Amino acid sequence: MIVDTLTSPIILFFVLGFFAALIKSDLSIPEAFGKAMSIYLMAAIGLKGGIEVAEAGFSAQLALAALAGLGLSFLLPVPAYFLLTRFGKLKPVDAGAVAAHYGSVSVVTFVTAQEIFSGRGLEPAGYMVAIMALMETPAIISGLLLLHGKKVETPGAPKQSTAKLMHEVFSNGSVILLVGAFIIGIIAGKDGFAPVKPLFDTGFRGVLCLFLLDMGLVAARRLIQSRKLTLPLVILAILMPVANGMVGAVIGVAIGLDPGSAAILAVLAASASYIAVPAAMRLAVPEADPGVYLSMSLGITFPFNIIFGITLYAAMVQMMI
């Protein structure tokens, strides 16, 4: 599986983008096209997940997976916070912001893992798309609770209301699109999806390859530009996802998920947000340093998970079954 994963076009396009950025190539993807690909991918995975649920129906397994996902997202930032303050030597404000990233999820890591697992006979249940959407927000709330009383107000900066923050979190574009497309898939069902299937199914992997090319460029350039990462933070950016992935794998197997769904739960637990959480942290904790939390989540954890982590988390699950 390791060889198959590392020779997959999906992974190789990411490596190509990462390498191109490292050698300072002028290769680039237009920003508007990158956003269009993001919209397409999220709409496609939401639709297909909703259709799977419509076909299979709601079940106890779905409810257990939802509880597991919510619990993981809310609780994983806690040990991350203490590791970041003690081992990483981060200020409490920066540690809380980073910890929130490591409880939330990466949509791109999920999509990549889903495609790789499906091609290896480990196709996860369709409802795992809904679990992914559920796991985006609790970590933000957990991170803010960890920061309570430790924020340093920026002189002259307007105070952000809780209502405004919650609106920002729950109206985040990725959350709205994923959940909305998932509901549309449930309503439309397999027959309703048939007319648009050529757009959202046939071209999916090709668009994913181009999107990961762009993400490779972005991740490497973020890493090159960072001046905030110390060796302990780099180590934590690798060890935290591995530990979180192991916890996710154990819980997935313990609650009786099928191997593919358990592996995806491990991937979700191991991934780190670099879209929804940064947006929320900019609003709620403007004094936290983006050079730390973005460099760790996007520059270190994301490439590690894409190239090595996905296979590692699947192997954990297969060893436990």
Give the whole-angstrom CA distance, residue 301 versus residue 23.
21
**Predicted confidence (pLDDT) per residue in 53-74, tens digit:** 787 777 889 999 999 999 999 9
| Per-residue CA distances from 166 to 169, 170, 184 (Å) | 5, 6, 24
60, burial (CB in 10 Å: exposed 0-12, middle 13-18, buried 19+) = exposed
| Per-residue CA distances from 138 to 13, 42, 103, 181, 254 (Å) | 32, 20, 8, 21, 22
Give the residue, 313 or 9, on which the prediction is more confident: 313
Domains and CATH numbers, the chain: 2-21+28-148+160-320 (1.20.1530.20)
Give the whole-angstrom CA distance, residue 187 versus residue 296.
39
What pLDDT score was predicted for residue 305? 95
What count of other Cβ atoms lies within 10 Å of the Cβ of residue 57? Answer: 8
**Predicted confidence (pLDDT) per residue in 225-265, tens digit:** 777 789 999 999 999 999 999 999 999 999 999 999 999 99
What pLDDT score was predicted for residue 256? 95
- CB 126 within 8 Å of CB 173: no
What pLDDT score was predicted for residue 170? 67
Mean pLDDT on 142-152: 71
- H helices of 57-136, in order, are 60-75, 77-86, 92-101, 107-119, 128-134
**Predicted confidence (pLDDT) per residue in 161-171, tens digit:** 666 666 766 67
Cα 301 → chain centroid: 10
What pLDDT score was predicted for residue 1? 58
Question: What is the sign, positive or negative, of the torsion defined by CA atoms of 301, 307, 313, 319?
Answer: negative
Give the whole-angstrom CA distance, residue 85 versus residue 80.
9
Tell me the helix, strand and coil percentages in the chain, rounded to 5. Answer: 75, 0, 25
| DSSP string of 175-189, one letter each residue | HHHHHHHHHHHHHHH
CB-based contacts of 63, cutoff 8 Å, min separation 6: none
Residue 140 in tokens:
């933000």
Q: Is the pLDDT of residue 155 over 60?
A: no
Q: Is the pLDDT of residue 315 over 90?
A: yes
Residue 73 in tokens:
């997202």
Give the residue, 320 or 227, on which the prediction is more confident: 320
Angle at 178 between CA 59 and CA 137, to 5 degrees: 85
Mean pLDDT on 275-285: 78
